[in-house]
Structure 1
Amino acid sequence: MTAARRRITLRTRLVLGNLLLVVTALGVTWTIVAVSGPPLFRRYVEQVRPLPTDVLDRAEAAFHVVNLVEVVLAVTIAFLLTVALSVLVTRPIGRAVAAMAAAAGRLSTGDYTARLATHPTIDEFTALATAINSMAGTIQQTEATRRRMLADLAHELRTPLATIDGYLEAIQDGIETADAPTLAILRNQVRKLTALAGDISAISAAEEGRLHLALRPTSLNTVIDDATGALQPAYAAKSVALTVEARAEVQVNGDPVRLEQVITNLLTNALSHTPAAGRVAVELTADTAGAHIRVTDTGAGIPAHHLPHVFERFYRAHRDSHGSGIGLTISRAIITAHAGTITISSAGPGQGTTARITLPR
């Protein structure tokens, strides 16, 4: 019995429901006619013209027959119209529900390209199809990002692990000795792995709303000076000029350590893609809209088709980049947690890159 009920489609249920309503309505009508009709008929006839009892009985019987014929005829017509209209109305509903079930089935098997056509006449189905399509698109994008992330993460882990394994094997075979230079190389590779694990943990914490910020009145001038001061030796070694322009003291309510991390990420990226004799400029301004930091370089620039993806995890616009591709992702998470915005723009390859940060004051 349970299995039979499960096989009844929505369309069948709608048709049966309509038929039940019609039968119920006609049943009520027939009951009222059968109970109240004859007395009313007899009373009306007696008021108009008294008749002999046998004639009145035959007239009442004829009245019953006429009512029965009319009700049967009405039931037949109502039944046929109900079936026809129910089929006409429920056919698109059944098709829409079947299409949704098929799309959901494809999604459940991992086919995230499944999409539903919107219904032209039923707004509710159109809204549902739009929501399902949006969900499928999000899942598809997330799955693509996950696969790329795993591939890039495997790539990032492979190099330091291969280096560590190679040196350990060489030491074991007696080809290398565990002297200070060898240990320094091993420690450097371990630091890379540790930094990568920390970056991934920071991204996860930010996306889950667990990024801890120690907010307090913070001078952006000091944050920028600390970041640029720490990187000046690296810039000097590559012969890239690093300048800072700040017209006034600017304070925000922020976490100075996290904000310095963002500036350091931007300056490190700029240095990586700016050739010798190039320039990187940091500009700090403020107005009623907030505090603004702009980092501009004269480096390699970014092709237009890469710009929408630069904040994605492990995404690198330049395949020869030595970074992990996580720095900008972390930077956006930190700025977003400060209720600010960060954007990256470029006029194209060879035209340099500009990063803009806006923070509420």
Structure 2
Amino acid sequence: MNRRHNPPIPAARPGSGFGTRLLIAQTIVILGGAAGAAGVALLVAPQLFHTHVQHAGLDPASPEAGHVEEAFTSSIIVAFSVALLSSVLLALAVSIVLARRVQRSIAAVVTSTAHIADGNYEVRVPASRLGREFASLTGSVNDLAERLDTVEEIRRHMLSDLAHELRTPITTINAHIDAVEDGIRTPGVHTYTVIRSATGRLHRLATDLDSVSRAGERQLHIEPQPVSVAALAASAIREAQPGYDESGIVLTAGPAATDIVDADPARIGQTLANLLGNARRHTPAGGTVTVSSRRRDRHWVDITVEDTGDGIAADHLPHIFDRFYRTDTSRNRDTGGSGIGLTIARALAEAHRGTLSATSPGLGRGSRFTLTLPLSRSVPARRRADRLSAGRKHSVGHEPAHKVD
């Protein structure tokens, strides 16, 4: 793993830590409050007592009144001093414990983020019991480390895949050129076909890399127009049918929505072709892939590609749309894809203000990919679709009265 070594974090000066500053601030507040309470008590209590002595009928100048007031003042000083001292010590003890816990938690976060910045993504911040905010902070740092660890693993696989994808066609081209130069092979149709196939593979790889780069930068160009959802699904099925026939997989059309969406037919066709190609690769001969569509609500319509194939493990589901991620690394590019197609498919869905999601009951139980698109903003198109939908509901749920027995 290549790690980026950052400059060391400067050591904090003694007394400059957050925990120390928090303790000093709390100590100042406690001592200030105690001093204020003592000052108020010593100024107010004797005067109030002197007033009550006068109301009791004692002569303020008499020795008895002076003795009583002196005894009251002394008892107030002693009692208040003991109470303040106990309160201050208890408050300081609690503040010290709290400040140390806060300082340890902050130090753990700082240490962990420093390791993460240095490329060690396996580090985790221990759970904190200082409240919801600290728990959220530690959880966010741990999530960041986990995501970066996943990205780093994908990057390593990506570099390995790229090296393999480049090496194979280049080796093929060099081998045939060497054979021609050494007189082992005579240039002909077969040689040119092999070389053209290898260069085509390199061209596809370069195109995929450019597409995934554009997808990451949200620069995919689309030209939306009102188009029927049923037409999009039918076109995708028609184009994918020959490949399914060769693989011995049944490709069927399920219920189709009659709604209109604002979409780029070529781009949505690319997305559906990718989903159907992915389903074909992961469905064994004799399996079934179904394409259907339905209106979700007043604003959205779903196009679903569901297969009876390999399925997707739960730990793979959150990552299958990540670039260069493949659930089965043993597959090569020709049989298992490069791990770019689903990334581009989701980017195209998002470029249409839609989403692309995947679900699976588990391995060996098939999977379902759902492309969600917003209904057309065109008022006439929307009205036509609504009338068609209302007509179907009427014919099913509201039979004429004379037909009722």
Task: Give the TM-score normalised by structure 2.
Answer: 0.67
- Equivalent residue for 1:343? 358
Identity among equivalent positions (%) equals 32
Q: In the aligned structure 1, how far is the partner of 2:32 from the partner of 2:256?
A: 83
1:26-105 equivalences in 2 (<5 Å): 26-28=34-36, 49=59, 77=86, 80-105=89-114
- 1:324 is matched with which residue: 329, 338, 356? 338
- 5 Å-filtered alignment, 1:253-264, equals 253-264=262-273
Distance in 2 separating the partners of 1:72 and 1:241: 90
State how far apart, in whole Å, the 2-side matches of 1:191 and 1:265 are: 19
After superposition, what is the alpha-carbon deviation per residue over 1:130-164, rounded to whole angstroms, capped at 9, x for unaligned?
Answer: 22222222222222222222222222222122222
SS at match of 2:140: helix
Match of 1:313 among 284, 307, 323: 323
Which residue of the other structure, out of 144, 147, 154, is the alignment partner of 2:156? 147
Are residue 195 (structure 1) and residue 210 (structure 2) matched?
A: no
1:171 deviates by 3.8
User: Cα deviations across residues 15-43 of structure 1 (Å, max 9, x unaligned)?
Assistant: 22222223434555677789899999999
The aligned counterpart of 1:56 is: none
Please state whether the residue corresponding to 1:212 is helix, strand or coil.
coil
CA shift digits 1:53-100 (9 cap, x unpaired): xxxxxx999999999888876775565344323223323222222322
Residue 138 (structure 2) aligns with: 129
| Secondary structure of 1:313 counterpart | coil
Structure 2, unaligned runs of 5 or more? 1-9, 63-67, 376-405
Instruction: Give the Cα separation in 1 of the matches to 2:221 and 2:360.
Output: 29
Q: RMSD of the alignment, in Å? A: 4.5
Equivalent pairs, count: 353
Aligned counterpart for 1:204 among listed residues 213, 228, 251 = 213
Range with greater deviation from structure 2 (5-14 or 64-73)? 64-73
Flag the 1:61–1:140 CA change in 2: closer, same or farther, 3 A. Answer: same
Q: 1:302 to 1:336 in 2, by over 3 A?
A: farther
Any idea what the Cα deviations from partners look like across 1:229-280, whole Å, max 9, x if unmatched? 55565566x374776647778442211111221233344445556677x576
Matched, 1:10 2:21: no
Q: Decide whether aligned partners of structure 1 residues 178 and 347 sit closer, same or farther in structure 2, where only a CA change above 3 A counts.
A: same
- Between stretches 280-289 and 140-149, larger displacement belongs to 280-289
- Alpha-carbon distance change, 258 to 344 in structure 1, aligned in 2, over 3 angstroms: farther
**Cross-structure match for 2:379:** none
Indicate the SS of the match to 2:102: helix
> Structure 2: which amino acid aligns with 1:15?
L
**Where in structure 1 are there 5+ consecutive unaligned residues?**
53-58
Q: Secondary structure of the residue that 1:136 maps to in structure 2?
A: helix
Corresponding residue for 1:24? 32
The one-character-per-residue Cα deviations of 1:278-336 (angstroms, maximum 9, x if unpaired) are: 576654444464555455667xx215428625444331548345132322332233234
Contact 1:118 1:129 in 2 (8 A): yes
Q: In 1, are the aligned partners of 2:311 and 2:360 still within 8 Å (CA)?
A: no
Provide the rounded CA distance (Å) in 1 between the counterparts of 2:199 and 2:118. Answer: 40
Q: Do residues 184 (structure 1) and 193 (structure 2) align?
A: yes
In 2, the alpha carbon distance for the partners of 1:282 and 1:357 equals 14
The structural deviation recorded for 1:198 is 1.8
**Distance (Å, rounded) in 2 between the aligned partners of 1:345 and 1:39:** 81
Distance 1:133 1:164 in 2: 47
